[in-house]
Structure 1
Amino acid sequence: MIDLLVAGGGYVGLSLAVAVKTAAPHLSVTLIDGAPDGAWRGDERASAIAAAASSMLDVLRIWQTIAPEAEPIRRMVITDSKTADPVRPVFLTFEGDPDADRPFAHMVPNVALVGALRDKAASLGIDIRPSTTASGFTADEHAVRLKLADGGEIEARLLVACDGVRSKLRDAAGIKTVNFDYGQSGIVTTVEHERPHDGTAEEHFLPAGPFATLPLRGNRSSLVWTERTEDANRLIDSDDLVFEAELERRFGYKLGALKVVGGRRAFPLGLTLARAFVANRFALAGDSAHGIHPISGQGLNLGFKDVAALAETIVDADRLGLDIGSLAVLERYQTWRRFDTVRMGVTTDVLNRLFSNDIMPVRMLRDLGLGIVDRLTPLKSFFIRQAGAAASSDPKLLTGKAI
């Protein structure tokens, strides 16, 4: 029987396996991944990694590998306008916190991040099984037994589901969720532009949803473009000329001519919050526990917070001689993470409803609020720290300390 079984080979599943194995090498860790071996190499997207999450990756000896591919976000600009507006006034600007020892976030290509995590997992002796799909599980007082689609079975002391927002293992555990469909989809692609971005990320609040440009290495930017689902599907299916024309209307010409250099995909957006994060010998982490709107760019970082809290819970319990899969032990993790997750889910929900509309009185009030925040330096610093830095009550890994 193995000690820890992780279902899901994305960033959250891999980083959890690495964090636990790094702190407790004697624990046996197995990770199953439903995707074929090497499928992750085709992911053209990039992710925003907050300062606290990069501190965790630094402790795990992963940040050093991906740093050459990481582009720091030194400045964040927020505007509120319509697509047809000739001028988009800047209502709020966030500069990097001068007291911090690193930018409040970096953009990292997903291929670089997953590749570094997989290499680290292999060096630690973690058993990774690609093309392995779970069909369900049973748990009793002594063990959890994961049933595989090929008829096999794996027995473990603890099973952690990191299998995405539509988690089959969450459903198998009987954990209910709160769900809301926004009727929006996020279009993701990469563009090249003539002039440098200077490490500036921009978020334009448009009536259909936010349009975010995030800096990548060189004269390139990653886009997260929110549209009503029917319009997003139309844009994805359109030819390159129509797509780039619509893109230029939103991006503008401040960085010169644009060229789409990556594939374009659309992802449905909604709010999903698990009613419980744990059950007997079972825990949820990452998107399996929560799926939120990308308006704040905090989805991946919420998952890394789960990793830091769950890894510390598991390792501390093991050092005390406790059963790492017992519900009493796992309740610590749930208490640690549940409130923060619900708070972020509600915050992104409110922000999306507030900014994804064109009601004039609402626009006037939100623009006034953005202007007030922009003029109050202490309040701006607070928001920067909330977005990127770790708090004293956070798990050790997020504060740059080993477990």
Structure 2
Amino acid sequence: MNQEPRSLHPDERSTATDVVIVGGGMVGGVLAQALSRDGWDVTVIEQRAPERSTSFDQRLTAVADAGWQYMDTLGLVDRSLRESAGAIREVRVFDRGHFGLTRITARSAGIEALGYVMPNRELGERIEALLDAPVTGQGVIHYRRPARYVSHESDESGIDVRIADGHERLETIRARLMVAADGAESPVREQAGMSVRRREYDQVATVATAMPARPHGGVAFECFTTGGPLAVLPAADGRVSLVWVARRGEARRIATLDDVAFARAVDETFGHRLGGFSAPSTRAQYPLALVTAEQAVADRLVVMGNAAHALHPVAGQGFNLCLRDIRDLTRVLRPDPDEAVDPGDPQRLARYRGLRMADYRRTIGLTDSLVRGFSLDLPGLGHVRGATLSMFDGLLPMKNRLVRATRGIA
């Protein structure tokens, strides 16, 4: 599916490919695998060298059932990733200090698990192994790192992507489509002049793992407080993943706690539901904001991942939304037998944009509404929220919609 490069400046190297992906993290890596399985030649541009890569850090990510199954079809769920992931058998949502509880179980949905809590590092190792050694008979993946995006220019027949390698030697890659998966502060998006909407939440997420005193039993908890939600998710080896969202001032206090005091504070906030915590890992903190691109598509350009939508972690929807981006883009670009397809065809990219808009509105609206609704601290509002959770738990049509959202089914 490759095309010949056009004439370029004589002091630069030039190559050609079908799709250039800027960003070799979780989103860019999964997309490269998906596109190559459909026969596209893909070039992945990753700025960080292997020994300095932070794309696959020590955090854990909750992947909904539908997203996990999709990753499995792409060959990403190998034995190592499967064994290092914790299955979510049940989800319990409650408001701290008030009655009311919503429960969702895998058994009632007739499935093995609602999702899985996986280590980013394990997925990263699998992605990098596939990028370094693509399967014979599929499209070729060229994994370029360290290399950084410099600029791009598109025309009717393709897009020229200018990059610099680790020695600052310039190269121009001629492609027919570029995908920006280069994070919330995307340089590609900025150069393309694609504006974003940004809403600061005045909240910070503290992320760690810990060992609960009682077995978690595959239960994921979402505990809402006026400062922000505390998620306690089942991980492998009996541990839990902690995502504690608090207002900035409280987050600064949390950062000063030693391990024993931190574990005690989590247990107190959580209502002692697992009997306490011990052996917390190193903590990391991340300021939270809602960042959404005004448009996800431009001339021969698709913006994806955090470059298109950086969400609050309240409902664990960020990476799952990205997986649906990947699924829909590959579907739109997939050619019929014996059909010549231009992956940068404006009509196909318009179809992709149309497919994604409803999912964006629904998912972003859900997370933003949860953050604002459960963060209000007004007299009597906690009782209203508790009553709402109890009512929601008993309304089957609404609960079925929540089950589908939890499973990542758009």
Once the two structures are overlaid, the 10-residue window that deviates more, 345-354 or 33-42, is 33-42
Long gaps (5+) in structure 1: 392-403
- Cα offset, 1:77, TM superposition: 1.1
1:311: which partner in 2?
A: 330
Distance in 2 separating the partners of 1:114 and 1:42: 5
- Cα offset, 1:41, TM superposition: 8.3
2:65 to 38, 51, 58: 51
Distance in 1 separating the partners of 2:23 and 2:252: 28
Contact 1:71–1:107 (8 Å) recurs in 2: yes
1:28 to 26, 38, 41: 41
- Does residue 382 (structure 1) correspond to residue 395 (structure 2)? The answer is no
Q: 1:375 and 1:42, CA in 2 relative to 1: closer, same or farther beyond 3 A? A: closer
Q: 1:106 and 1:68, CA in 2 relative to 1: closer, same or farther beyond 3 A? A: same
Distance in 2 separating the partners of 1:316 and 1:380: 38
Counterpart of 1:169 in structure 2: which amino acid? V
Within a 5 Å distance, the mapping from 1:253-268 to structure 2 comes to 253-268=272-287
Contact 2:304–2:322 (8 Å) recurs in 1: yes
Counterpart of 2:358 in structure 1: which amino acid? F
Q: SS state of the match for residue 164, structure 1?
A: coil
Distance in 2 separating the partners of 1:212 and 1:198: 15
1:290 to 309, 325, 331: 309
**Residue deviations 1:233-283 (CA, integer Å, cap 9, x gap):** 332244334433322322343333422432211111111111111111110
Q: SS state of the match for residue 218, structure 1?
A: helix
Distance in 2 separating the partners of 1:318 and 1:138: 31
1:144 to 141, 159, 164: 159
- Cα offset, 1:97, TM superposition: 4.7
2:118 to 108, 120, 123: 108
- Cα offset, 1:40, TM superposition: 4.3
- Cα offset, 1:136, TM superposition: 2.4
Contact 1:48–1:106 (8 Å) recurs in 2: yes
Contact 2:27–2:305 (8 Å) recurs in 1: yes
1:96: which partner in 2?
A: 106
Distance in 2 separating the partners of 1:2 and 1:359: 57
- Does residue 184 (structure 1) correspond to residue 197 (structure 2)? The answer is no
Counterpart of 1:144 in structure 2: which amino acid? I
Q: 1:256 and 1:380, CA in 2 relative to 1: closer, same or farther beyond 3 A? A: same
- Does residue 14 (structure 1) correspond to residue 29 (structure 2)? The answer is yes
1:155: which partner in 2?
A: 174
- Does residue 368 (structure 1) correspond to residue 383 (structure 2)? The answer is no
- Does residue 302 (structure 1) correspond to residue 321 (structure 2)? The answer is yes
Distance in 1 separating the partners of 2:111 and 2:238: 25
Counterpart of 1:46 in structure 2: which amino acid? L
Q: SS state of the match for residue 138, structure 1?
A: strand
1:123: which partner in 2?
A: 133
Q: 1:319 and 1:114, CA in 2 relative to 1: closer, same or farther beyond 3 A? A: farther
1:73 to 68, 81, 88: 88
Contact 1:194–1:219 (8 Å) recurs in 2: no
Q: 1:271 and 1:370, CA in 2 relative to 1: closer, same or farther beyond 3 A? A: same
Q: 1:234 and 1:301, CA in 2 relative to 1: closer, same or farther beyond 3 A? A: same
Distance in 2 separating the partners of 1:133 and 1:12: 17
TM-score w.r.t. the length of structure 2 is 0.88
Q: 1:155 and 1:8, CA in 2 relative to 1: closer, same or farther beyond 3 A? A: same
**Residue deviations 1:195-235 (CA, integer Å, cap 9, x gap):** 21000111111010001100001220001110112321332
Distance in 1 separating the partners of 2:404 and 2:338: 32
Q: SS state of the match for residue 406, structure 2?
A: helix
Once the two structures are overlaid, the 10-residue window that deviates more, 134-143 or 210-219, is 134-143
Distance in 1 separating the partners of 2:21 and 2:275: 46
2:268 to 249, 252, 256: 249
2:7: which partner in 1?
A: none
Within a 5 Å distance, the mapping from 1:189-338 to structure 2 comes to 189-316=208-335, 320-338=339-357
TM-score w.r.t. the length of structure 1 is 0.89
Distance in 2 separating the partners of 1:90 and 1:191: 26
Contact 1:136–1:148 (8 Å) recurs in 2: yes
- Cα offset, 1:2, TM superposition: 0.7
Distance in 1 separating the partners of 2:240 and 2:150: 39
Q: SS state of the match for residue 381, structure 2?
A: helix
Distance in 2 separating the partners of 1:60 and 1:161: 21
Counterpart of 2:153 in structure 1: which amino acid? T
Q: 1:221 and 1:247, CA in 2 relative to 1: closer, same or farther beyond 3 A? A: same
Long gaps (5+) in structure 2: 1-15, 135-139
Q: 1:154 and 1:209, CA in 2 relative to 1: closer, same or farther beyond 3 A? A: same
Distance in 2 separating the partners of 1:178 and 1:261: 36
Q: Which runs of 4+ in 1 moved over 6 A?
A: none
Q: 1:200 and 1:137, CA in 2 relative to 1: closer, same or farther beyond 3 A? A: same
Once the two structures are overlaid, the 10-residue window that deviates more, 202-211 or 344-353, is 344-353
Q: In the comparison of the two structures, how many residue pairs are matched?
A: 384
